[in-house]
A and B are shown apart, each in its own frame.
Chain A
Amino acid sequence: QSALTQPASVSGSPGQSITISCTGTSSDVGRYNYVSWYQQHPGKAPKLIIYDVNNRPSGVSHRFSGSKSGNTASLTISGLQAEDEADYHCSSYTSGSTRYVFGSGTKVIVL
């Protein structure tokens, strides 16, 4: 069972915006501004798309944005495109021996 809670799937039509939630606790998401998001296409390794809640690495589309409120972080994909169909994993830094916790992943379906 994953430490962070994500919806199993989110769907949207091309051009629409969708938001994926990631709920943790006051020990991880709520305590640190170290939430990151990873995109994973089938059979591929994850790719960093958001770090430190709302920062995009160089080369990542501006259509991806992140935010956080309390114990819940969110990833928004605007102007949804067919290539955005993938699994999205959230992660948070946490205290203790397990430094990083992940969500179970959300499958984004482009209708």
Chain B
Amino acid sequence: QGQLVQSGAQVKKPGASVEVSCKASGYTFTSYYIHWVRQAPGQGLEWMGIINPRGGGTSYTQKFQGRVTMTGDTSTSTVYMELSSLRSEDTAVYYCVYAHSGSYFLEVWGQGTTVTVSS
């Protein structure tokens, strides 16, 4: 089973952007999609979008379209999620998760990255 290791916690001011990285190991990077899911404090999970590392195709939920960008680097087996125009409601733990291209479940989760938006 593979592993996803995410970058560390960040504190950002409202209006700024944040980039979270997610490095994959232990599996064929281009054979699995990477999803991004976030969890606000004391809240449930929220799906943000998906990237296919093979080719870089993405799909974002409408809520984040225009504010989120997901990219991948096959040379380092790393994907990135950038969220712009941050507001306090974006304070959350952000998870990357891999899933086989033919599956409909989120298989292996990264450890999570806490993003705090505060003035």
Tally of chain B residues near chain A (CB < 8 A)? 25
Complex interface: stretch among B13-21, B57-65, B80-88: B57-65
Beyond the given pairs A2-B44, A45-B109, 14 more chain A to chain B contacts, judged by CB atoms under 8 angstroms and listed by A's residue number, are A34-B104, A34-B105, A45-B112, A48-B105, A48-B106, A48-B108, A51-B104, A52-B104, A89-B44, A97-B59, A97-B65, A98-B61, A102-B46, A105-B45
Q: Is the CB of B47 within 8 A of A98?
A: yes
**Which of A97, A100, A103 counts the most B-chain CB atoms under 10 A from its CB?**
A100
Q: Is the CB of A100 within 8 A of B106?
A: yes
Q: Is the CB of B109 within 8 A of A52?
A: no
Q: List 16 A-B contacts (CB under 8 A).
A: A36-B105, A36-B106, A45-B110, A46-B95, A48-B108, A51-B103, A57-B107, A89-B44, A91-B47, A93-B104, A97-B61, A97-B62, A99-B47, A99-B50, A103-B44, A104-B44
How far apart sit A93 and B61, CA to CA, in the bound complex (Å)? 13
- Chain B residues near A (Cβ < 8 Å): 35, 37, 43-47, 50, 59-63, 65, 95, 103-112
Tally of chain A residues near chain B (CB < 8 A)? 25
Min Cβ gap A52→B in Å is 7
Q: Chain B residues with Cβ under 8 A from A51's Cβ?
A: 103-105
Q: Chain A residues with Cβ under 8 A from B59's Cβ?
A: 97, 99
Min Cβ gap B59→A in Å is 7
Residue in A2, A32, A97, A100 whose CB lies within 8 Å of B60 = A97
